[in-house]
Every structure is written in structure tokens, then in C-alpha cells.
Structure 1
């Protein structure tokens, strides 16, 4: 199922033995286009401390837009490595975080999540040996971190191949794989009588982080012809197919498996 990532904001996060706090933000991977961590404000419980929650720990399916259940105890969360959410998350911090919880590093394999497309911890017999993990770790440069704040990226201008078309209003993600499938673009600052449209993340050409702009290979006219996105309805495969057919693009579901 596909949902707007903004529905996660303010969701209550429940551990196995009580409430942890509320989702404040999410960090996504700008290469694989996947949500890697939820940023949770613990409020007065941990003196306004913010902690990271990995999709590895989220109990599927998501209970609702207002509740996220995780397979962690409050004590585990309390003792988890600190993170300064005002600074970029380093690979060193990720290693410490994932090591603390015993989660496999997602960057070590071709799959979206370690050895697969879903954030599932592989059985011990299927995991990589320590020697393999050490070798893969040595191949990852410390600077190869591509985590971005969703809160910060909302509002980025979106550039078609021939000019501006609007700004990012939201992200559409798969609740099972946590893959970001689309950017929801508001065209109101470009096109009178505007509409909100979807741009598949596979149609993104590049991102200028310094200038806060996202570039797509689509033209302005192509986006103008794109079907409007109705946030009150469920984005099903038929709607996705119509969108991809409009732009003569192959769907991501035809490239997998």
C-alpha cells in the first residue's frame, strides 16, 4: 500500500511496554529512495531527547496513520546511541545504532534492505559472515552517506527539463518496503488553476542540495498533462499504471522480480 509520508508526522510510537513519543521527521536515502529512520521526539519522558527508529523495528502492518508500533522496549530506546538531529547523521553513528540493535547494515547489499526488499532481519544462517561484513564495510567510504530530512526537503522547487513546475509537497511511500515511490508536487506557484501531480523518483535526474532544487527529465507540458493526484483516494496499481502510461514510462513493478 502507498501512503503520504506526512501521515507519519505526529504519529504516536509505542514500544512493547509503553509509549515512546511522536514522529517528528524522517530521514530518507537519496540514492535508493527509501525511508531509513523515523525521528521521534520523546517529549518529557527523556527530557525532549530525539531518537531514531528504524523500519527494522516497526511491527507490520502499520497500525494506523496515528500509531506506529515497534518491537522494542522503552529501556532499549532509552539506552540507544544519541543523535544530534540538527546535524547530518554520520556513517559512524549509523554503525553504532545498527550494531546496538543488532540490525544488518542496509548499505552492504544490492537489495533495498540488506539481503532483501523489505526491512526484515535475516535468519542467522542466511546472514553474512563476520569476514564478509568486514570486507563490505571496508568498501564503504565514510562520506558515502545519503540521508536527508524529509522536513527539510519539503518545499524544494522542482525543475522540469524546460523550467520550473512547482515544489515538493509530500512523499509517497510503500508501507511494506518503506521505498519512496513518488514526489507529490504542488504546481500552484507555476500553473494558474494548478493541481498536485506525482513524479516517480525514478524520473528524478539530479538534486541540487545547495540550491534546494530537484530536477526531473519530464517537460513542463508533460507534467501539465499528468493526471491530478487526489489525496482522498488510495493510490492503487491502476492509477499508477495510468500515470506511467501518460508519460510512456515503465512502472517500477515491472522491473522487480
Structure 2
């Protein structure tokens, strides 16, 4: 089941004993292309505090028409969760404390996360082997951060990132939607993560392998989320 990030924003989150708030952002791993957290703004019951919820806490999703996600947590568990300063990068220590508090499963290694067997994309943003070890995870990125990033190929600028498609059966990022020079304002070109060569976060630029000719032949999605050419199923 696919949902776009912009659809998820605003979804209500229902704990075992009542609604806790709504989705304000999505944190994903730009190396494995898997959603790691939903950023939830709690209601007045917790002074609109922002908390991180792993997809591991979300119950099986059978229907998204209600715009509600149910989680296997109580309000008390969320209230007692370690505080996170959302104005700063999430540190590895903070992630570790979250996983300890909720007893979420961990994959360890490059960062905390939930099991990704069969979920990790074959290619990803290039990672330097000399990348320094940092207190925070350099691959944990915000959807709000990547939205409207410039997209470039070998020939130059081709458009902007508009949205990302998320397979909520395993919370992997299936594709990015870009507004490019070959489509109308109401259409987006579909780019899969394995076509992304690099992401330069300081300059807000994303480089893709697709040539101009590739982009003209790429799947196109309209504003209603349907393919406007004959490319459905070719992603």
C-alpha cells in the first residue's frame, strides 16, 4: 500500500487509550531509503510536545481512508519517553534511549532502526568510506528538508523534489516525485532511489543518473496520484 509523504502529514495518531496528536514530519534514512520515524506533535494533553514514533510501533494498516494510524503504545508510555530537542539533529544517544524506553527492535550498525530485511534498496545516496563518525546520524533526514530540493543530472538542473512515495507495508521509500522541465505543473516524474547518485545537503541539491531522454520516458503521475501515461507497474 503506497502513500505519499504529504498525505501522511496531518494523519492522526491513536494510542491504545486515545488519540495523541498528528504527524508533522517524516524522518527517513537516505542510505537505506527506509522511514525511521514519524514526528508527532501531541495535543494539548502533553502541551503539544513533539515525539518520535518508529514504524515498529504502528499496528497493521488495512485502511487509510480515515487518516488515522493506530500505534501499540499508551499515552503514559509516550508521556514518559525521553525528551528530544527537535531543533537539533537527533543524536545516536537519543535514539538509543528511545529504543530502550519502548523496547523497539534495533538493527544497530550505522544507526538505530527497525528490522529492514527485504526492505533496503539496492542503491542509495553515495556514502564516503572516509565519512567521519558523528554524534548524530548523518543519514537521518526530514521530508520537510528534502522537499523542494533542486534535482540535477549530467546536463544540469531538471527540477525540484515535490513528494516521496512510501510503501507502508514495510515503510520503504519507493520513489521520489519531481517537478521537471518536461511536465506540466500538475504532473510529476517518478524517480526511484536507485537512480539517485548523490545528495548534497549543504547546497540542497540531488543528483540523478537519468538523462534528459530518460526523463522524457519516465513514469508520470498526475495531481490525483494516478499515472498519466502507460507506465503504471514499471516503477
Query: Is TM > 0.5 for Structure 1 vs Structure 2?
Result: yes
TM-score by length of 1: 0.77
1:131 maps to: none
Number of equivalenced pairs: 216
The answer to whether the 8 A contact 1:163-1:220 is kept is: no
1:208 maps to: 200
1:9 maps to: 9
The answer to whether the 8 A contact 2:10-2:24 is kept is: yes
Deviations 1:172-204 (A, max 9, x none): 0111110001111012xx347463110001110
2:158 pairs with 1:173: no
The answer to whether the 8 A contact 2:15-2:72 is kept is: yes
Write the mapping of 1:47-66 to structure 2, written as runs, cut at 5 A.
47-61=47-61, 63-64=63-64, 66=67
What is the CA RMSD across the aligned residues, in angstroms? 2.3
The answer to whether the 8 A contact 2:161-2:177 is kept is: yes
Q: 1:177 to 1:239 in 2, by over 3 A?
A: farther
The answer to whether the 8 A contact 1:62-1:69 is kept is: no
2:226 pairs with 1:225: no
Determine helix, strand or coil for the equivalent of 1:242: coil
CA distance in 2, matches of 1:142, 1:113: 20
Write the mapping of 1:45-124 to structure 2, written as runs, cut at 5 A.
45-61=45-61, 63-64=63-64, 66-108=67-109, 113-114=114-115, 116-117=117-118
Name the larger-Rg structure. Answer: 1
Q: CA deviation at 1:152?
A: 1.6
Determine helix, strand or coil for the equivalent of 1:176: coil
- Hey, which of these two has a bigger chunk of strand by percent? 2
CA distance in 2, matches of 1:192, 1:102: 46
Q: CA deviation at 1:115?
A: 6.5
CA distance in 2, matches of 1:143, 1:77: 22
The answer to whether the 8 A contact 2:36-2:114 is kept is: no
Q: 1:226 to 1:177 in 2, by over 3 A?
A: same
CA distance in 1, matches of 2:137, 2:52: 19
The answer to whether the 8 A contact 1:16-1:71 is kept is: yes
- Unaligned runs of at least 5 residues, structure 1: 119-139, 244-257
Q: 1:70 to 1:192 in 2, by over 3 A?
A: closer
2:38 maps to: 38
The answer to whether the 8 A contact 2:104-2:114 is kept is: no
1:186 maps to: 179
CA distance in 2, matches of 1:161, 1:62: 42
CA distance in 2, matches of 1:101, 1:160: 42
The answer to whether the 8 A contact 2:61-2:69 is kept is: no
- Unaligned runs of at least 5 residues, structure 2: 120-132
